[in-house]
Structure 1
Amino acid sequence: MEFTSVPGVGEKTAETLSKLDGAEDALRRGDVAALARAPGLTEGRAAAIARGAIRRRHDDPGGWLATDRAREVYEDALGLLQERAVTGYAEKRLRTLYPSATESRIEEVRAWAAEAVEREPNEAVVEALEGVQQPTEPRGLRVRERALATADAERYAEAKDAFPELSVEVVEDARDLAELARSYSTVVALDESFAGVDVDGDVRVIPDPEEHHEEVVPERLLAFFAENRAELLAAVDVHEAAGIDPALDPAALRDALSRLDDDGTPRGDDELRRLTNAVDDLDAAASTAASVANDHLRDAIREQDVTIEGTDFLSLVEQGARVDSLLSRELADEYDAAIRKAREHFVDALQLQPGEDDFAERVFAGEPTFPTEHNEEPLNRLRTELKAARDRRAAKLKSGLASDLADLREPADDLIADALELDVELAVARFARDFDCVVPEIDEAGSGFSIEGGRSPLLDVPFAEAEPVDYGVEGVTLLSGVNSGGKTSTLDLVALIVTLAHMGLPVPAASARVGRVSELHYYAKSQGTLDAGAFESTLRDFGELVSGAAGRLVLVDELESITEPGASAKIIAGILEALDEQGATGVFVSHLARQIREAADVDVAVDGIEAVGLDDGELVVNRSPKKDHLARSTPELIVEKLATESSDPGFYEGLLEKF
């Protein structure tokens, strides 16, 4: 696949995707979790790329949201979904849900949403999801006790790229390999020609290291599991709380993680712990052992009277003897006892094993001295031996643990991805429950709609207090009604339900039928009369709108405010005529319904949101538009109220006749 063929993917992003295993499959699926594993690709960017890949797969040209207000309604709908997501991943993944005119895309999401709404978003699942996020790959890992070796320059370059954690060295022959083995605990030779070469040290021949990462650099695998321990365990908790099968065996994962320390080293091995402590405590143990010997000698000297004949003293001095020599003659047994105690302490403190304890005799050996000191050369030799043993033990444990974890590596990604995708599904499930949603019927004939019991979650009132609305339109219609009667809210409800239906999602209604709309054009109420330039630009927009408008849904809120009422009525009438001729569906909210209908050359339906009266100065409104009804205005209702209440209603009755 040419990655640049995906909308929104340029050369740089294509290069990034080329470094991701399975990138083509991820693009075909629109898999945000998989795409986000590409180096340097954020979840938000991955979501945008996934959306482009979905459009490409369904041959979807986009552009369904044709106006700013239509896009605002989509963002509002998306926001309602995102508010019900727990993870940041799910918030971004939900952006791959978008309204489309393409049947295959709508049906794909409808099938997915049908399963999603069956999910049970219980508190245990939600709580577990709070600990889940995309796994991170280890960065800056460096392994200093192991090296790769090759005699091939090209192989050298490949190994440098594939294993940045390790040193890669060029060797020409077995002598070079042996020399390298003296500098590293383990050397991995990449050339088959080194097979069977007998050299001292831990030298392994692995000609295909890329296929055996867990053997060559087990630290990489261990670091991944150590760094993502909390996320993996949280993902397991999500699966268990939701009652769904995970991609791996939870018991196997928990067991492996229990043997792994937070720094990526194996834990729970007594021998490794002994060797590690011995290396760390070596200098301190040697100093303390010397102090034990000196304390013993000091006590012995205090408690013992030493007598030396004058002639003996003179003879020793003439021979150049030091005081230590004088003491050794008199305290030889005590000195031997002191050295013995030093060696015993040294062995016990470091828990040295047979073969290692021989070094104690060399560390504390030589001519009697006071104060006694350890010998540095054998101590350093012991340090080298212990480090090599520690590194060999650690390497063995790492390889063993990495071997156990290797089979869990890909399932671990799937485990977290499945948990994150569950959050996406649960967001849809909670949305459907919170707003009493139903799956809408998609009508292939026309772009009209029919809504029963629709309630908008976009109102500034709690959803439970929103009044249900019944409304349906085929063709072009004027929507009349009193100020603050709910005309704009009705347009918003229609736009929301039509948008959600074309996203493939449930809608907030008792039932709904939505025609397949090619584009949604929603024009919000203008903020005052436009100047000549803006007025001309607006007319150009509508000129383009009515050209090829078949299949479009057009919602317009009080277009008359752009210019004088007389001119507005004629302009709106002309737009409605053009839309009717094209076979589009349109709802125009207007206070000039009577004038527009009179100016139009076609029959224009007029629906009305009827105010049934005034209660303490507040309008009482039937929120569901009444078909083929020109709603009375607020002034008319007030005049009618005055005519009813006045003792001399003549003036008010005269005004009423003018409405």
Structure 2
Amino acid sequence: MEFEAIPGVGEKTAASLAELDDAERALRDGDVATLSRAPGITEGRAAAIARAAIRAEHGDDGDFLATDRARELYRDVLALLKERAVTDYAEKRLETLFPTASKSRIEEVRTFVEAALDRTPDPAVLDALGDVEALRAPPNLRVRERCLATVDAERYAEAKATFPELSVEIVEDAHDLAELARSYSTVVALDEAFAGVDVDGDVRVRPDAAEHPEEIVPERLLAFFAENRERLLAAIAVHEAATLDPACSPADLRDALERVDENGELVGDAELDRLTAAVDDLDAAVSTAESAANDHLRKAISEQDVTIQGQDFLSLVEQGARVDSLLSRELADEYDTAVETARGHLAETLSLEESEYDLAERVFGGDPTFPVDHNEEAVSRLRTELKAGRDRRAATLKADLAADLGALREPVETLVADALELDVELAVSRFSRDFDCVLPEFSGSGFEFEAGRSPLLDVSFDEVDPVDYGVSGVTLLSGVNSGGKTSTLDLVAVVVILGQMGLPVPAERARLERVSELHYYAKSQGTLDAGAFESTLRDFATLTTGASGRLVLVDELESITEPGASARIIAGILEALHEQGTTGVFVSHLADEIRETTDFDVAVDGIEAVGLVDGELRVNRSPVKGHLARSTPELIVEKLAGEARDDAERANGSGDEAASRRGFYARLLEKF
């Protein structure tokens, strides 16, 4: 796939996508999680790129939603869908769903939806999903105890790019390599020429280093798993709650995660812990051991029976008098005991092994002195030895753990992706269940649905009256004020938008024509001025020419100008759409006038009012086919006429006022 051929993708974004191993698959599947791992691409940007790629693949020009009102309704139903997602990923992934005229795209989404509808939104699963997030790369990692070495400048540049975590050094010969080995715990030589060279220190010759990065920098894998520990554990919990088949063994993954902490450091190895503690505590342990030796020797001196009193002897010693000969002659055994005390204390405090005890012995000893002092050079050598042991142990353990984690690296990607995709499926399932949806059938011309209910009304969905409606060709929809004409038009648009997204629609049954564009013109707020009126006519001139297969919904177009002119203009538009074979619904209070003006037998449907009950309008929300609905004023006049008739009958002809009112209302009714 040519990334720059995707609308909105430039050279920089294309280069970022190229760094992904499976960018083409991610673009086809709308895999926002994978796309957002490309450098500089956020989840929101990833969703936009995926949407553009899907449009390009299915030949969609993005013009299905042809008007502001159509786009507004799409945003509204998409928001309802996204509200049922738990994870941020699912919200962004749902943004890759859009209404389209592309049959292949609709069928692709419907295949996904059919599987999603089989999902049961278990509260335990939804709760577990709350902690799942897309995997992310760890922050910049730096490994300071290891370096790479090469004699070749080109190989140096490649190593810098491949191993940004490590220092890379240019060397000329084995001598330079030996110098590096004195500064680093491990040196990895990249040149075959160094094979067999005998150099002190941990020097490894790995010309194949670039092919096995997990062996050279195991910390990279450890950092990844440490950074994503909670996400991985959450994904396991989702699989277990939903009884999904995981891509890797949950027990193996949990075991591996227990061996690395949140900072990517190894945990759970007693020997590594011992060596780490010994390095950290060395200076304090030496100081404490030195104090213990001096305490012992101080006590021995103060109690010693010599020619001068012990206290005087101690005073002389502390004033710097030469006492080596005195100590050698009088306190040799006590000095030896004090040194052994210091050595024992040091070995015990640091939990030294027998092989390390020789270095510890050198820290204390030599000619008798008071106070007893440590050998700083010996301390330095012991520290170096302990650090080397620690680093070797850590390197071995990291390599072993990285080998285990390496086998899990790809499966955990699938593990988390499956959990996130489950959230997408559950969002669709929840939407369908919450709004009693069904997958529509695509056949024939026009549309029809049974028991449709709009999820966008400002009342509880359970309180929404079901609507049956269907139209083929152009139709006028009449009805009383506040009778539900606009909400019916909205319902038609919502059903069509969802259906052409490939999603289920809020109805018991629905049949749709796959249309090329949805044009929905909302009610104008007041009469338009001349310029706006002219612009509106230009829009309809464009609409009534060109491609057919559109669905046109118009709400009270007569409000754009004077009623008489409006009826003639609407009649002309209907005639053009009729000749084009377009399906359209025009809501209008001028249905009768328009019908008389058109040069074909235009269909008129009506949302019929049952009447006024206690001052409130009672309406049959399903439009009646071939019926011009009565207006609200007619219903009110009819109600008043009925009341006047009843008053006149009760007066038995004796009430002139009642009879007069009855006659007035009857005359008004005749005008309708």
Match in the other structure for 2:501: 503
The CA deviation at 1:206 is: 1.9
Q: TM-score, normalised by structure 2?
A: 0.95
Structure 1 stretch displaced more, 178-187 or 124-133: 178-187
Indicate if the aligned counterparts of 1:549 and 1:579 stay in contact, CA closer than 8 A: no
1:655 aligns with 2:668: yes
| Cα distance in 2 for residues equivalent to 1:204 and 1:13 | 39
Structure 1 stretch displaced more, 365-374 or 85-94: 365-374
The CA deviation at 1:190 is: 1.4
Q: 2:582 aligns with which of 584, 608, 611?
A: 584
Indicate if the aligned counterparts of 2:364 and 2:375 stay in contact, CA closer than 8 A: yes
The alignment partner of 2:354 has SS state of coil
- Aligned positions of 1:518-537 closer than 5 A: 518-537=516-535
Letter matched to residue 652 of structure 1: Y
Indicate if the aligned counterparts of 1:609 and 1:624 stay in contact, CA closer than 8 A: yes
| Cα distance in 1 for residues equivalent to 2:524 and 2:133 | 44
Task: Structure 2: give runs of 5+ residues left out of the alignment.
Answer: 648-657
The alignment partner of 1:612 has SS state of strand
| Cα distance in 2 for residues equivalent to 1:548 and 1:571 | 20
Match in the other structure for 1:478: 476
Which runs of 4 or more aligned residues in structure 1 lie more than 4 Å from their structure 2 counterparts after TM superposition?
Answer: none
Q: 2:612 aligns with which of 611, 614, 619?
A: 614
Match in the other structure for 1:417: 417
| Cα distance in 1 for residues equivalent to 2:48 and 2:411 | 25
The alignment partner of 1:7 has SS state of coil
The alignment partner of 2:455 has SS state of coil
Task: Structure 1: give runs of 5+ residues left out of the alignment.
Answer: none
Indicate if the aligned counterparts of 2:474 and 2:584 stay in contact, CA closer than 8 A: yes
Letter matched to residue 508 of structure 2: A
| Cα distance in 1 for residues equivalent to 2:321 and 2:554 | 115
| Cα distance in 2 for residues equivalent to 1:211 and 1:124 | 43
| Cα distance in 1 for residues equivalent to 2:384 and 2:544 | 86
Letter matched to residue 43 of structure 1: E
The CA deviation at 1:304 is: 2.8
| Cα distance in 2 for residues equivalent to 1:361 and 1:259 | 35
Letter matched to residue 650 of structure 1: G
Task: Show CA shifts across 1:525-548 (max 9, x none).
Answer: 111111111111111111111112
Letter matched to residue 283 of structure 1: D
When residues 556 and 583 of structure 1 are mapped into structure 2, their CA distance, relative to the original with a 3 A threshold, is same
Match in the other structure for 2:438: 438
Letter matched to residue 363 of structure 1: V
| Cα distance in 1 for residues equivalent to 2:573 and 2:210 | 67
How many residues get paired?
650
- Aligned positions of 1:291-302 closer than 5 A: 291-302=291-302
Indicate if the aligned counterparts of 1:569 and 1:595 stay in contact, CA closer than 8 A: yes
- Aligned positions of 1:375-524 closer than 5 A: 375-443=375-443, 445-446=444-445, 448-524=446-522
The CA deviation at 1:327 is: 4.4
The CA deviation at 1:196 is: 2.3
The CA deviation at 1:488 is: 0.5
Q: 2:599 aligns with which of 575, 586, 601?
A: 601
Letter matched to residue 613 of structure 2: D
| Cα distance in 2 for residues equivalent to 1:409 and 1:488 | 54
Indicate if the aligned counterparts of 2:360 and 2:382 stay in contact, CA closer than 8 A: no
When residues 321 and 484 of structure 1 are mapped into structure 2, their CA distance, relative to the original with a 3 A threshold, is closer
The CA deviation at 1:308 is: 4.5
| Cα distance in 2 for residues equivalent to 1:209 and 1:477 | 73
| Cα distance in 1 for residues equivalent to 2:210 and 2:572 | 70
| Cα distance in 2 for residues equivalent to 1:362 and 1:21 | 56
Match in the other structure for 2:653: none
The alignment partner of 2:183 has SS state of coil
| Cα distance in 2 for residues equivalent to 1:177 and 1:459 | 76
Letter matched to residue 101 of structure 1: A
Match in the other structure for 1:10: 10
| Cα distance in 1 for residues equivalent to 2:557 and 2:357 | 96
The CA deviation at 1:429 is: 0.5
The alignment partner of 1:96 has SS state of coil
The CA deviation at 1:326 is: 3.4
The CA deviation at 1:414 is: 1.3
The CA deviation at 1:33 is: 2.2
Letter matched to residue 221 of structure 1: L
The CA deviation at 1:193 is: 2.1
- Aligned positions of 1:615-634 closer than 5 A: 615-634=613-632
The CA deviation at 1:301 is: 2.4
What is the Cα-based RMSD across aligned positions, in Å?
Answer: 1.6
Match in the other structure for 1:155: 155
Indicate if the aligned counterparts of 1:549 and 1:583 stay in contact, CA closer than 8 A: no
The alignment partner of 2:623 has SS state of coil
Indicate if the aligned counterparts of 2:30 and 2:93 stay in contact, CA closer than 8 A: no
The CA deviation at 1:174 is: 2.0
Match in the other structure for 2:67: 67
Match in the other structure for 2:548: 550
Match in the other structure for 2:651: none
| Cα distance in 1 for residues equivalent to 2:242 and 2:361 | 64
The CA deviation at 1:187 is: 1.1
| Cα distance in 2 for residues equivalent to 1:208 and 1:555 | 67
When residues 549 and 480 of structure 1 are mapped into structure 2, their CA distance, relative to the original with a 3 A threshold, is farther
When residues 572 and 549 of structure 1 are mapped into structure 2, their CA distance, relative to the original with a 3 A threshold, is farther
| Cα distance in 2 for residues equivalent to 1:625 and 1:321 | 118
The CA deviation at 1:360 is: 2.1
| Cα distance in 2 for residues equivalent to 1:321 and 1:371 | 12
- Aligned positions of 1:66-465 closer than 5 A: 66-308=66-308, 322-323=322-323, 325-443=325-443, 445-446=444-445, 448-465=446-463
The alignment partner of 2:610 has SS state of strand
The alignment partner of 1:182 has SS state of helix
| Cα distance in 1 for residues equivalent to 2:562 and 2:366 | 114
Task: Show CA shifts across 1:589-643 (max 9, x none).
Answer: 1111111111211211110001011111000000000011110111110000000
The alignment partner of 2:475 has SS state of strand
Task: Show CA shifts across 1:149-175 (max 9, x none).
Answer: 111111111111111110001112222
The CA deviation at 1:31 is: 2.3
| Cα distance in 2 for residues equivalent to 1:268 and 1:525 | 70
Match in the other structure for 1:46: 46
Task: Show CA shifts across 1:190-246 (max 9, x none).
Answer: 122222222222122222223212111000100100110110010011111111111
Letter matched to residue 295 of structure 2: D
Indicate if the aligned counterparts of 1:44 and 1:92 stay in contact, CA closer than 8 A: yes
Match in the other structure for 2:566: 568
| Cα distance in 1 for residues equivalent to 2:248 and 2:39 | 25
The CA deviation at 1:361 is: 2.0
| Cα distance in 2 for residues equivalent to 1:481 and 1:519 | 26
The CA deviation at 1:342 is: 0.6
| Cα distance in 1 for residues equivalent to 2:418 and 2:522 | 40
| Cα distance in 2 for residues equivalent to 1:322 and 1:492 | 106
Letter matched to residue 326 of structure 2: L
Indicate if the aligned counterparts of 1:286 and 1:374 stay in contact, CA closer than 8 A: yes
Indicate if the aligned counterparts of 1:609 and 1:623 stay in contact, CA closer than 8 A: yes
